[in-house]
Amino acid sequence: MMKVNAEKCIGCGQCIKDCFPRDIEMVDGKAIIKNEACFKCGHCIAVCPKEAVSTDEYNMEEVKNYQKEEFEIEPERLLNFIKFRRTVRQFRNKEVEVEKLSKIIEAGRFTQTGTNSQDLSYVVVRDGLQQLKNVTFETLKFMSDNILNNLTEENMSYKRYAEMWAYMYGRYKENPKENDSLFFNAPAVIVVTANSEVNGALAASNMELMTNAVGLGTFFSGFFVAAAKGNKQIVDMLGVKPGKQIVACMVIGYPAVKYSRTVPRKSADVSWK
């Protein structure tokens, strides 16, 4: 429940102005939260100048007061950080600390979600990575055979992927350690699941930035996501919760490659109206 400390409230009305579902009203010069349409977005907590608003549903000790030197990032510096990020497929033989993986998940936890649903769940795979890898390769091979043996105009666009999966599988079976072109021998994987694909994608994007910030590298394995959607065994292995879908698979480790510069991109396709 969201609540207002009447002794601290000065009746400024800032929480009322910023409440999208209009769940706050002013009574006798004090803000009152009705908790009828409220979806716990926390805007009232953030906007109150007197720290009068709180909730008993979340940990209020997580709330931090704004400090410019701790919160602001120079625009050009942020843009350069985004430009410099690279998809990493070369990893060192070094375990990733739990503390760093937890910080990456924190970046996902504090990402915005539609109607503040906070519908994200995360599966961190380390010890079971080899088993997951084996099942995924077998699934991709099955999907490849199914496509190549039943080519039609509708699935012709998948032909090159099917051929790639078959090639990857063959090389992996020859030498699993040297030819891991699925997870590239990375020591950890974070699978992002959510009820909403948009919420999961937004969280994964912020998580990638945090991955780079803590000195790690990552790439999003679309092949794994495709395999997981086609094999309930993978979903069960991960313990994906009912109602959630696998949105992203982040393969994570310490980079075994060092980049020296950013790269060019196509011009933005923008329409100004």
Supply the CATH number for residue 241's domain. Answer: 3.40.109.10
Residue 273 covered by a domain: no
The H or E element containing residue 55 is strand 53-55
C-alpha distances out from residue 231 to 46, 66, 239, 253, Å: 43, 46, 13, 26
Q: What is the pLDDT of residue 154?
A: 80
What pLDDT, in 10s, does the model give residues 203-254?
999 999 999 999 999 999 999 999 999 899 999 999 999 999 999 999 999 9
Residues 34 and 161 placed together within one structural domain of the fold: no
Residues 51 and 107 placed together within one structural domain of the fold: no
The neighbouring-strand residues paired with 188 are: 252
Q: What is the pLDDT of residue 152?
A: 87
Residues 52 and 91 placed together within one structural domain of the fold: no
pTM recorded for the entire structure: 0.94
Residues 42 and 136 placed together within one structural domain of the fold: no
From the CA atom positions of the chain, what is the Rg in Å? 23
Number of domains in the chain: 2
Residue with tokens 């409230």: 9
Residue 67 covered by a domain: no
Q: What is the pLDDT of residue 153?
A: 82
Residue 136 covered by a domain: yes
Q: Cβ atoms within 10 A of the Cβ of 122, count? A: 20
**Is residue 163 a contact partner of residue 151, using CB atoms and an 8 Å limit?**
no
Residues 41 and 104 placed together within one structural domain of the fold: no
State how beta strands 188-194 and 53-55 pair.
Answer: unpaired
Residue 74 covered by a domain: no
- Here the CATH number for the domain that contains residue 14 is 3.30.70.20
Residues 123 and 45 placed together within one structural domain of the fold: no
Residues 172 and 245 placed together within one structural domain of the fold: yes
Residues 10 and 118 placed together within one structural domain of the fold: no
Residue 34 covered by a domain: yes
Residue 272 covered by a domain: no
**Is residue 185 a contact partner of residue 93, using CB atoms and an 8 Å limit?**
yes
Residues 254 and 154 placed together within one structural domain of the fold: yes
The neighbouring-strand residues paired with 27 are: 30
Q: Give rounded-to-5 percent helix, strand, coil for the chain.
A: 40, 15, 45
The phi-psi region of residue 14 (left if phi > 0; otherwise alpha if psi is between -120 and 50; otherwise beta) is alpha
Angstrom distance (rounded) from CA 189 to CA 185? 10
What pLDDT, in 10s, does the model give residues 103-162?
999 999 999 999 999 999 999 999 999 999 999 999 999 999 999 998 888 888 889 999
Which residues, 6 or more positions from 160, have their beta carbon under 8 angstroms from its beta carbon? Answer: none
DSSP assignment of 175-186, as one string? -TTTT-TTTTT-
Residue 255 covered by a domain: yes
Residue 56, pLDDT > 90, answer yes
What pLDDT, in 10s, does the model give residues 59-114?
999 999 999 999 999 999 999 999 999 999 999 999 999 999 999 999 999 999 99
Residue 70 covered by a domain: no
Percent of residues, the chain, with pLDDT higher than 70: 100
Which residues, 6 or more positions from 156, have their beta carbon under 8 angstroms from its beta carbon? Answer: none
What value does the mean pLDDT take over residues 47-51? 97
Angstrom distance (rounded) from CA 221 to CA 202? 16
**Residue 218, domain extent:** 80-262
Residues 223 and 119 placed together within one structural domain of the fold: yes
Residues 207 and 101 placed together within one structural domain of the fold: yes
CA nearest to 250, candidates 172, 192, 168: 192
Q: What is the pLDDT of residue 155?
A: 82
Residues 119 and 27 placed together within one structural domain of the fold: no
